Structure 1
Amino acid sequence: MADPEKTREQQLLKEEEPFRRNAFLLIEKMLDLYQPSAHAKALVDEILHSIFFCGKIHNPPFSPEMILIDVEIIKELKDVFPRPFELFSSRLPRRGPFSCVLDMIVHLNGGENENKIIDVLRTLITDLKLRESMHLVSSTICFSHKTEIQDPVKYYGVSNSAPDPRRIMYAASCLGGWDSYVAGAVMTYLPKKKKKPDFDGTIVLPSNVRCHAFSLSDGKVKSPCRSCGNLFGLTTSEIAVNEYGNCAEVESLSNLFKNVVDVKEQARPTSEKYSDLKRAKVEKLVRTDLRNWLLHKGFPWDQNFYTPQPV
């Protein structure tokens, strides 16, 4: 028999502002999944900071206390994870909150079976009724791996889950989170979806890499969009151009490049418009744009990116 108090609590959550509801449910789920280990603790620490930051720049803004509400929960979390509460209003996250959820699922289930990872995430989204509002929730998952070896390690990514203005998270990930080659490709088009005339950091994936995306709504394969074709040379017939940096392929390939050096070297940018000097200039422009966007949102960035607390 359903618990009347629990049912009432769920109804109240449903009626809440969608951002606060999803923020609370994702934090609650991560705490439910948490099993004592250094990696799991770092992921909970990271998602708290990422969500608190998103609440800070949200319109209307939400403080950690407004998201969590319960005084005892707040006290317990501050005791175990103090730094997200201290630094959410000055340091930038390196990625959106749902990326932490994905990493926790992979950590607990292993990354060998991509179908299981997709099913677990889809079940989580359904059980929490997160599709009623896509705040902080990714719509797509992607996995990448080498094809010429048996039982390859797979590297996952999800689409951006930070709220508008999303360009803040794209820029933050370019400067502080993603692999340098992936970030260079994205910065070629950031922020106006128009290719820069004097810089080209786009890359072409080597033929021995598989990169497939799936919808978290229905589990079906998603063809690369035109943006991913432009960034990574992925074959596509799509003409729609998504925001550069939004797609799950970006995070998945970034994780692949960080861990598989020979693949990254094969994907080195080859354009005459790419050099370390030109890249440094583009990074400076992206950093300036990012600082201005944050000032517009009333966020006094201290120029540092958040790193989950060491254990």
Structure 2
Amino acid sequence: MAAEMSKERVFMIVNEGFRKNADTVIREIMAIREQASPEIMSMTSGLMDELLHGLIFLGKIRDQPCSPEAILGKGKTYLNLKTNYPEAFETYSTHLPRRSPFSVVLEMVVKLKGQNNDKEIRETLQDIILKIDLKNCRKLDRIFSSTLCVSHAKEDSKKYYGVSMSTTGPNAGRIVIAASCLSSYWDEYVAGAVMTYYPQKKKKSYFDGTFELHGDATCTAYSIKNGSEMDPCKSCGNLFGLKTTCEKEWPYGNCAEAESLSNLFRNDAEVKRKSRPTSDTCTPENRERAKDDTRRELTNTLQRVNFRWNGKYYSDKRRHYR
């Protein structure tokens, strides 16, 4: 009995930060949705479903797995969510998310606040993360993004957003980055650029899908916590041709610029055309080889975390904000 209690105590200590933060994000989004119109509530129902799946999936692949019941408790909230969003609870052990949980939060906030209201969007995201216990939050428990990126073709044109990866540890990051590339969540140009370096921060010798963002377009990152503008990191300079003096090299695909530019390209064919990759090695055959290598790395990482993937991605048939 003492041994069992000891195991339970270890589980609680290891998972308490993650559990608490996941619960906070879910409850904050529920509260925001409740203030919205019935139309917006309906529009964001699928996103709530996707958010739950992503968070429960991250709990599943932790070193000490954290169940949906452990995250949400076994009370009224858990029962209501499981009743209203059953698919998330049924598939978190078989389907991969196409993006990180905070990306889903971002899309929901954009729908609620309006796509060009970037100030309100930033303030709402800031309010959410400030309610998370940052002081006592271990790196492995961080399911929130630290950076928001805003991209647009011209100063007065429609704005498109992205957030940095909100995953818990290197395995989760590798899984979600690969899934964003392979599931077509990211635009083909962005996915190709990321796969050029994925996963070792080393450029492939046989494929270069990197590109230079056309000069008329802008791509600006901000700290969600304090709202300050941030320079692109070295990785984003290498991937997207963004001018920077920063020497920090984050894992390729980790930064908010990837999602933001992907959304821009999906909606502005002219900017995408002018930003196309130009390397002679960026051929359909070499791109497929890069995808195969990415899929192989994904499979190996899933084996390390004991996840039995059925080859499907969650939300394949759902519509997403671009």
Structure 1 unaligned segments of length 5 or more: list them.
Answer: 1-12
Kindly provide the CA deviation profile for residues 176-225 of structure 1, in whole angstroms up to 9, marking residues without a partner as x.
12111100000000000000011000011111101000111221110011
SS at match of 1:246: coil
| Deviation at residue 285 of structure 1 after TM alignment | 1.1
Aligned residue number for residue 19 of structure 2 = 20
State yes or no: 1:183 paired with 2:191.
yes
State yes or no: 1:200 paired with 2:208.
yes
| Deviation at residue 175 of structure 1 after TM alignment | 0.8
Which piece of structure 1 moves more, 184-193 or 110-119? 110-119
State yes or no: 1:151 paired with 2:146.
no
**TM-score, length of structure 2 as denominator length:** 0.88
**Aligned mates of 1:16, 1:306 — CA distance in 2:** 24
State yes or no: 1:254 paired with 2:273.
no
Cα distance change on mapping 1:113 and 1:73 into 2, 3 Å: closer
Give the AA of the match of 1:86: E
Conserved in 2, the CA contact under 8 Å of 1:24 and 1:68? yes
State yes or no: 1:52 paired with 2:50.
no
Aligned residue number for residue 31 of structure 1 = 30
Give the share of equivalent positions with the same residue, in percent: 44
**TM-score, length of structure 1 as denominator length:** 0.91
| Deviation at residue 267 of structure 1 after TM alignment | 1.5
Conserved in 2, the CA contact under 8 Å of 1:25 and 1:128? yes
| Deviation at residue 131 of structure 1 after TM alignment | 5.7
Aligned residue number for residue 292 of structure 1 = 300
Aligned residue number for residue 5 of structure 1 = none
| Deviation at residue 306 of structure 1 after TM alignment | 0.4
| Deviation at residue 74 of structure 1 after TM alignment | 2.2
Aligned residue number for residue 212 of structure 1 = 220
Cα distance change on mapping 1:231 and 1:237 into 2, 3 Å: same
Kindly provide the CA deviation profile for residues 239-267 of structure 1, in whole angstroms up to 9, marking residues without a partner as x.
22111011111111011111212211221
Conserved in 2, the CA contact under 8 Å of 1:206 and 1:263? yes
State yes or no: 1:100 paired with 2:100.
no
Structure 2 unaligned segments of length 5 or more: list them.
Answer: 1-11
Cα distance change on mapping 1:46 and 1:230 into 2, 3 Å: same
Kindly provide the CA deviation profile for residues 2-38 of structure 1, in whole angstroms up to 9, marking residues without a partner as x.
xxxxxxxxxxx99971111111111111211224444
| Deviation at residue 83 of structure 1 after TM alignment | 0.4
**Aligned mates of 1:29, 1:15 — CA distance in 2:** 23
Which piece of structure 1 moves more, 42-51 or 130-139? 130-139
| Deviation at residue 108 of structure 1 after TM alignment | 0.8
**Aligned mates of 2:94, 2:13 — CA distance in 1:** 30
Cα distance change on mapping 1:131 and 1:120 into 2, 3 Å: farther
State yes or no: 1:141 paired with 2:148.
yes
Match for residue 65 of structure 2 among 61, 66, 69: 61
**Aligned mates of 1:207, 1:90 — CA distance in 2:** 42
SS at match of 2:57: helix
State yes or no: 1:111 paired with 2:118.
no
Give the AA of the match of 2:17: P
Which piece of structure 1 moves more, 28-37 or 80-89? 28-37
RMSD: 2.0
Conserved in 2, the CA contact under 8 Å of 1:43 and 1:308? no
| Deviation at residue 309 of structure 1 after TM alignment | 7.4
Aligned residues: 297
Give the AA of the match of 1:262: E
Conserved in 2, the CA contact under 8 Å of 1:93 and 1:306? yes
SS at match of 1:17: helix
Conserved in 1, the CA contact under 8 Å of 2:94 and 2:310? yes
Match for residue 124 of structure 1 among 128, 135, 139: 128
Match for residue 288 of structure 2 among 280, 291, 295: 280
SS at match of 2:44: helix
